[in-house]
Amino acid sequence: MKTQALVFPEPGKVELREIDLPTPTPRDIVIDVVASGVSVGTERWTYLGKRAEIAFPNVPGYMGIGRIIEAGPEAISRGYKVGDMVNFIRSRLAGELEGKSWMSSHLARAVVDVFEDAHPNPEQLDVHHCEKLPQGLDPFDAALTGLGSVALRGMEMAGIPVGTRVLVVGLGVIGQFAAQICRLKGARVAVADIVTARLEKARENGADWVINSGKENLAERAREIAPNGFDIIIDTSSSPAVVNSLFPLLRRRGKFVFQGWYPPPSALDLNAFHGRLPTCYFPCAHSGPAVQAAMQWVRDGHLKVRNLVTHRVKPRDAAEIYRQIGAGSEGFLGVIFDWKS
């Protein structure tokens, strides 16, 4: 069986190519992919060759949405059936692509092992593998919900009590979802970024305070909003320089969530932490229950996602998309590949 897939053959390059898929086993489902969402941060570092755990060539992406067109008997025994819409993180690949990455969702057809998480190793992360979409959820609305569940893991670790004052820095899709979910949990939320369009999206989606840190003094605004410091700061910027500037804005014994990915070596000034006596959290990945929660919230209208999508493109347009991603362009927010248009 063959399919079209996006492939990173080497750092800085992407191709739409035909690839061979492995023969499905009784524990597999075969998915006709409708849409796949782009995790701009993770896929940027992968595209640039900065993720040491990912080898080349590889198929990127970890947010695939599609319909089951085949289901093996063991997969059926787990409740999967032909016609179900599912959200999957990766698929099985063959040949030179096999085993190169923990991602593989940017492809037109996918072979997915639904038993992959059946016997989780306690030494490994609990990671979402394949979840059914809630009835009535548009697949394109589901395509970025994995990023909502990434944000949710950081909040699960830190805890967000009602009335907490939270600062979210960096308003990519994860930051946008983080701000919305914190408000769902009863927090008062300030957001900061240097991109006006992203700040306006956050304002539309309910942020209590919006700070353009490229034009305003973030420290001064922070003291106005939280005179004793924010209870929780969530950083999605992945920038050590930005993080270093945030430490003084945290209240003593506050919580700091490193929600970005910080490529080594790091220039974080950890000495600045000591005087704040903080608790720090370093989230990684996202769970199946978090994906289900994010999808339910989107379907029920509690989380807004449509105004976060700036690019819905065909896979053949991938080279230009990744060129912008690799260059750190701020001209887009949510990106979805449409495999059916």
Q: pLDDT per residue over 23-40, tens digit each?
A: 999 999 999 999 999 999
Give me the residues paired with residue 8 across strands. 58
pLDDT reading at 66 higher than 90: yes
Residues 123 and 254 in one domain: no
pLDDT tens readout for residues 297-340: 999 999 999 999 999 999 999 999 999 999 988 888 999 999 99
Task: For residue 41, count other CB atoms closer than 10 A to its CB.
Answer: 21
Asked if the structure places residue 181 within a domain, the reply is: yes
pLDDT on residue 116: 80
With CA atoms as reference, report the closest residue to 190 among 157, 227, 156: 227
275 and 157, same structural domain? yes
Same domain, 138 and 204: no
Answer yes or no: do 272 and 309 share one domain.
Answer: no
Asked whether residue 245 carries a pLDDT value surpassing 90, the answer given is yes
Determine, yes or no, domain membership for 182. Answer: yes
Mean pLDDT of 53-82: 97
- 52 pLDDT band (50/70/90 cuts)? very high
Per-residue model confidence (pLDDT) at position 118: 63
Using alpha carbons, select from 120, 92, 122 the residue that is nearest to residue 105.
Answer: 92
Both structure tokens of 213 = 């840190």
Quick one: 129 and 162 in the same domain?
Answer: no
Residues 156 and 263 both lie in one domain: yes
Answer yes or no: are the C-beta atoms of 289 and 146 closer than 8 Å: no
What pLDDT sits at residue 122? 67
Within 10 Å of residue 240's Cβ, how many Cβ atoms?
16
Task: With cut-offs at 50, 70 and 90, classify the pLDDT of residue 237.
Answer: very high
Q: Is residue 286 part of a domain?
A: no
What the block records as the tokens of 273 is 């932490």
Q: Looking at the predicted structure, is the pLDDT value of residue 293 above 80?
A: yes
Q: What is the mean pLDDT of residues 287-300?
A: 96
Cβ 198 vs Cβ 176: under 8 Å = yes
How many CB atoms lie under 10 A from the CB of residue 140?
Answer: 17
C-alpha to C-alpha distance for 36 and 196, rounded to whole angstroms: 27
- Other CB atoms within a 10 A radius of the CB of residue 340 amount to 11
Q: Look at residue 81 and tell me whether its pLDDT is greater than 90.
A: yes
Q: Are residues 89 and 174 in the same domain?
A: no
* 271 in a structural domain: yes
Structural domain of residue 37, as residue ranges? Answer: 2-144+305-338
In a domain, 101, yes or no: yes
CA 207 to chain centroid: 20
pLDDT at residue 155 is higher than 70: yes
Kindly report, residue by residue over 92-111, the tens digit of the pLDDT: 999 999 999 999 999 999 99
Instruction: Please tell me the pTM assigned to this model.
Output: 0.95
Give the CATH number of the domain where residue 311 resides. 3.90.180.10
What mean pLDDT comes out for the span 182-198? 97
Shared domain for 93 and 134, answered yes or no, is yes
pLDDT band for position 133 (cuts 50, 70, 90): very high
Contact status, residue 104 vs residue 58, Cβ threshold 8 Å: yes
DSSP string computed for 137-197: --HHHHTTHHHHHHHHHHHHHH---TT-EEEEE--SHHHHHHHHHHHHTT-EEEEEES-HH
Same domain (yes/no): 7, 126: yes
58 burial class (0-12, 13-18, 19+ CB within 10 angstroms)? buried
Q: Is residue 299 part of a domain?
A: no
93 lies in some domain: yes
6 plus 126 within the same structural domain: yes
Residues 28 and 64 in one domain: yes
35 and 88 both lie in a single domain: yes
CA separation for the pair 306, 256 (Å, rounded): 29
What's the chain's average pLDDT? 95
Dmax of the chain from CA atoms?
61
CATH code for position 244: 3.40.50.720
Distance CA 225, CA 275 (A): 21
Is residue 124's pLDDT more than 80?
A: no
Please give the share of the chain, as a percent, with pLDDT higher than 90.
89
- The answer to whether residue 66 sits within a structural domain is yes
Residue 254 has pLDDT above 80, yes or no: yes
Number of domains in the chain: 2
Q: What pLDDT was estimated at residue 264?
A: 86
Q: How does residue 120 score in pLDDT terms, banded at 50, 70 and 90? A: low
